[in-house]
Amino acid sequence: MRELPTLPLPAPAPPAEGYSRREALVMGLFALAAAATATGCSAADKLAYEEFVQKHFKDLSPEELKDRLASMEKRYTEQFGKEVKVSATPPMPGVLFGYALDLSRCIGCRRCVYGCVEENNQSRDPQTHWITVLEMDKEEGVNLQNANAFYDHETVPAPGKFYMPVACQHCENPPCVKVCPVQATWKEPDGIVVIDYDWCIGCRNCIAACPYGARRFNWGKPSIPKDELNPNTEYLGNRPRQRGVVEKCSFCLQRVRKGLYPKCVEVCPVGARKFGNLLDPESEIRYIIENKRVYILKEELNTQPKFFYYYGL
């Protein structure tokens, strides 16, 4: 297996949760479920009840969080027929994630789009993409009104065209967070804007407010073939989603908080995508911002994205 490149980060990722403990919890939960079945209450009823009364992610005590993670793991493991891990990896201190994309290199191949789908367990049917790749005319420059997200050439890049992939920009001043009526979405200390899928009410105000069209709603029941599920999941990231809630790019927080690059960075065949710690003056992302011609999408809206387009060539 190829050695994966790792992110230079200050603090090591926190150790994975102890297995023995989780095992004990799972056993405890199993005993509880058994007891419940004995009293005539089915596990499915209990789950439905649990889902209905559950708390907001931030209101969970450490013990309650452990219980919920264990309960989710059990459920997903049963559902997908393989062991699924659900973690709640906290942000690392001293890290503010930033992204850069070289517009002069991107060829519009959309490998990032499909790499993202696999890594982040997006629904295959109906199909959900977190990244939209826009095709535009070189003559016009960035003109969204002339952008085409549905190009289907035999080969890319098409002559006279350039490509602009757009996903969540992880704004410093995120409109989606401001408008959410129930605080189901928020900005983490490492700059990643996250969603608690179990708290979202599906009002879609965030979709209306996002200037980047980055948020996706689960209009139908999301589906992933069992063998295609990525079993390494995060509570606030790529765990299997439910119908009627909003989702979006999380900078692959299941990877970046453990020192790996986001999937789209890893799969980009032309090296157009860069990622790193904005607080580290030695990082590649800081080098790009300080030395290249940077373009910020809809800069006039003062959303202050942590996603920087640049012209590397």
Partner 1 sequence: MNVLSKFGSFVTGTARMAFVGGNRYYYAWLGVLALCIVQAVFAFSHQFQNGLIVTNMRDSVSWGYYIGNFTFLVGVAAAAVLLVVPAYVYDWKPIKEVALFGELLAVCSIVMCLLFVLVDMGRPDRFWHIVPFLGRMNLPGAIMAWDAVVLNIYLAVNLVVASYLVYCGYHGIHYNKKFVWPLVIFSIPMAISIHTVTAFLYNGMASRPYWNSAILAPRFIASAFCSGPALLLILFQILRKVSAFEIKDEAIHKVAELMAYAMGFNLFLFGAEVFKEYYSNTHHLVHYEYLFAGLHGEPSPIALYAWMSLAFAVISFFLFLIPRTRRNIVTMNIGCVLIYASVYIEKGIALIIPGFTPDQLGQVYEYVPSATELRVAAGVFGIGFLLFTLMVKVSVAILFERPRAEGAH
Provide the minimum distance between the beta carbon of 75 and partner 1 in the complex, in angstroms, as a whole number: 18
- Using CA atoms, how far apart are residues 288 and 253, in angstroms rounded to an integer? 22
- Using CA atoms, how far apart are residues 237 and 192, in angstroms rounded to an integer? 10
Site string for partner 1, 62-101 (x = CB under 8 A): ----------------------------------------
Token pair belonging to 76: 């997903």
Longest dimension (CA), the chain: 71
Nearer to partner 1, 30 or 49 (CB): 49
Q: Is the peptide bond before 174 cis (omega within 30 degrees of 0)?
A: no
Binding residue for partner 1, selected from 91, 157, 202, 231, defined by CB under 8 A: 202
- Using CA atoms, how far apart are residues 226 and 79, in angstroms rounded to an integer? 8
Q: What are phi and psi of 97, to 5 degrees?
A: -75, 140
Binding residue for partner 1, selected from 134, 195, 256, 285, defined by CB under 8 A: 134
Q: Give the number of residues in contact with partner 1, rule: CB under 8 A.
A: 49
* 61 belongs to the binding site for partner 1 (CB under 8 A): no
* 244 belongs to the binding site for partner 1 (CB under 8 A): yes
* 127 belongs to the binding site for partner 1 (CB under 8 A): no
* 236 belongs to the binding site for partner 1 (CB under 8 A): no
- Using CA atoms, how far apart are residues 33 and 288, in angstroms rounded to an integer? 54
* 49 belongs to the binding site for partner 1 (CB under 8 A): no
Distances in whole angstroms, Cα of residue 302 to Cα of each of 175, 299, 306? 10, 6, 12
Contacts with partner 1, residue ranges (CB under 8 A): 52, 56, 59, 126, 132, 134, 143-147, 149-150, 166, 175, 178-184, 199-205, 207-213, 215-221, 243-246, 301-302
